[in-house]
Structure 1
Amino acid sequence: MKNIYYLFFLCLSLVSCAEDDKESFNLILNQTSWSGELTLSNPEEIVYNINIVFETENSGEYYIDKFIPELPFSYKTTLKYKIDSKIILIEGGYNNILTGYWWVVSNDENRLILKRNINTEQDCDTLDLIKLI
């Protein structure tokens, strides 16, 4: 009788583990608008106000609020993106400052924190965004 109880609890625990494995990270950005700060860390830390709109499942645009002609990138441009689990690859656009692999560090319904170049602390850039729509 003890063996039956043991097998029952073993099967029950395996089923509950299988349910946990099925949970996956699901980030959907299309048709959303975000506002926040872009912090660039190399060669020195600079913070920009940024607005990002993810229009479709793979394209969008961003706008940096304070246009400075000396910026080495475009203050407004389109972008292409692809979500792969907890990484967002951003490409495209003219001198796109957001180009690269962004790691999702934190994600809840209204706030998204992304980091790029996470392997080196001094070069690590951060996008801290609040959802508008």
Structure 2
Amino acid sequence: MRIRLRRLYVDARVFVWRAEIRHVQGSGDCHRCIRVRVWGDGRASRALQADLLSRARPAPWGACATDGAYPSSAEVRAVITYALDHGWGPDLKGGTFVLSAREHAGQFFLPGFLLTDRLHTPDGDDPTMQVMRSYETDRRG
């Protein structure tokens, strides 16, 4: 399968990005998760990675297959801008700057997504509980 790389301009600078659709198991159901990877000056630059958990309301097993959540260019631009403001150095060579939920979830916000650590560590918060808490927060205000 061919991986599609897209170009995006942020402050007159070119970034290349891709998004892979994945799924993570929560305590109540399966959730759609999009792994976004971004590079600055070529693929040898320090990569940015953000695992975006869809905020679609929890549904019975198998529902993650019908969740159509996918980040737009504007949402990827927001990921890039946030990462640049919080320590990502795309001009550095090698390595990956990860926007982890543990470090960034309290400050980073996209309306349709949450940051999750569950794709790269089993110790990450339960995706079902993350989504449910996000709706509780919406109701409170």
- Higher-Rg structure is 1
Q: Which has the higher helix share?
A: 2
TM-score by length of structure 1 reads 0.29
Which structure's residues are more often strand, by fraction?
1
TM-score (norm 2): 0.28
Greater relative CO (CA pairs within 8 A, separation 6+): 2
